[in-house]
Amino acid sequence: MIQIENTIIHQQLPADELIERALLAEGKLNDTGALCINTGTFTGRSPLDKFTVEDELSISLTDWKSDFNIPLKAHYFVVLKEDLLSFINNQHEIFQRVCYAGAHADYRLKINVITQSASANLFAYNMFLRPDEISEGNIIGEWTVIQAPDFEADPAKHGTRSKNFSVISFAKKMILIGGTGYTGEIKKGIFTVLNFLMPSKYNVLSMHCSANIGAEGDTALFFGLSGTGKTTLSTDPQRWLIGDDEHGWSKDAVFNFEGGCYAKTIGLNAEHEPEIFAALRHGALVENVIFKPNSDEIDFNDSSITENTRVSYPISFIDRIAKPSVGGIPKNIFFLTCDATGVLPPISKLSIEQAEYYFLSGYTSKVAGTETGIKSPKPTFSTCFGAPFLPLNPNVYAEMLGTKLREHEIKVWLVNTGWCGLPFHQGKRISLSHTRKMVNAALNGLLDQMPFEVFPFFDLAVPIQCENVPTEILNPYKTYQNDSDYLERMKKLANDFEKNFTQYASTVRSSVIACNPTFK
């Protein structure tokens, strides 16, 4: 257990008290009562400053070839921990709480969260399972997270790349975070731990996805990178939310790892995302937003601090939730991609081999204007839709998914939530209402009753019609096959997929490699 002395320790404070303390120096309330803070220099994760300690547990299992699994020598960790604890012990006050990850009673991780600020402790209260809201269960381990934004590392002394860091030690069961106030580092640190433990020790597939369940008990999963629509599409007024971001899939159930939601708020409005909009109330923690002039009302369209404006809130803030946050074997799986090139169809049905292929590929687009130096859409491939959080080799997760798809009758869909036909600088993003209609048609089995046709070169099966969705957008190739610009973009995207997949050519089945799009 961590020894903390010489400082006031506020243990297990309820949300109201944490908010009261945060209002003294850390943030202010908006017009709906949510606490609004600025996380400082860092408004997002810093993947290149996330380290895994080389120890007896990590050394043989970690995929060190990944750009996101950066090793840190054990002796550096010892010094960093000592210096961080010394810093914590010299604070006037700190905040500590015990919480849990894992809604399934058989797979529950106990977490001891120690934070420098009240607002970061509120984040932990919102995002993890609270002791009074869970039943007795099996504790698979106990971890400690220490977060201190004002403590900065010395790269020469601590082995880090810069002053900010997030360091995981599997042997010591600790996560150390410093130099950054971005609360998402806490959440994703624990997710990385679960991505290590669940597959390797418990034969549970850990997944970067949202999940919900319908009136007939049918579970659906939504995989996708940031900005593709996981939270939005899974928060459906006609279904019950299991969770919005991180889940496990055991032999008989899908279960939420978390006790809260962490939603993007850029462009948020009550019409398109009413459930999330309504969750911005007292107890919610909003990050890096701007207020409208001379008011306490948030301007959700203002991205002057960051595009990555966020809100965390307990999942109970959503009216329609599964209790507990557990569902059965999924009936439908959706892979979400925001294709800014305008090439991919808005929805297509995948074979098992194609599902493994697109899961390993994890494709979406970075759009011009969201990152410095990007002047045109940049394809991004993040394996298993979560490369920065995967300690194990991606094939471990892909093979587990493939096995489950072969064991059960599950439909897998590729959904483009980006642009269709015209690229981002010429056209408009596919409307959320159309995407919802297509997803709902898939969930309700209506798409299965439609004839499908082939989207060429990618060999995707696309429906020829979907109720209340313009027919011309369902297969953009039919509309733009005589457009040289579209064909050129199609060729480039096909080549990007093929080039990216070369890294898996020696480790996956030939039938999966055959899913490479070929433009001839």
Give catalytic residue positions.
45, 188, 208, 226, 230-231, 245, 310
Is 17:98 a contact under the CB 8 Å cutoff? no
Which residues have C-beta within 8 Å of that of residue 320, sequence separation ≥ 6?
236, 237, 239, 240, 241, 275
Report the C-alpha gap between 518 and 520 in whole angstroms: 6
**The two structure tokens encoding residue 67:** 């750009």
Report the C-alpha gap between 259 and 129 in whole angstroms: 4
User: Which of 262, 360, 267, 348 has the alpha carbon at shortest distance from 311?
Assistant: 262
Q: What are the start-end ranges of the H helices in 95-207?
A: 118-127, 155-158, 184-202
Distances (CA, A) of 424 to 365, 369, 371: 10, 11, 15
Is 288:255 a contact under the CB 8 Å cutoff? no
DSSP 304-366: SS-S--EEEEEGGGSSSB-SSSEE-SEEEEEEEE--TTS-S-SEEEE-HHHHHHHHHH-EEEE
Is 167:77 a contact under the CB 8 Å cutoff? yes
Report the C-alpha gap between 193 and 173 in whole angstroms: 9
User: Which of 444, 451, 417 has the alpha carbon at shortest distance from 432?
Assistant: 417
**The two structure tokens encoding residue 256:** 């939420």
Report the C-alpha gap between 432 and 436 in whole angstroms: 6
| DSSP conformational letter for 296 | S
Handedness of CA 297, 299, 305, 310 (dihedral sign): positive
Number of H helices, E strands in the chain: 15, 28
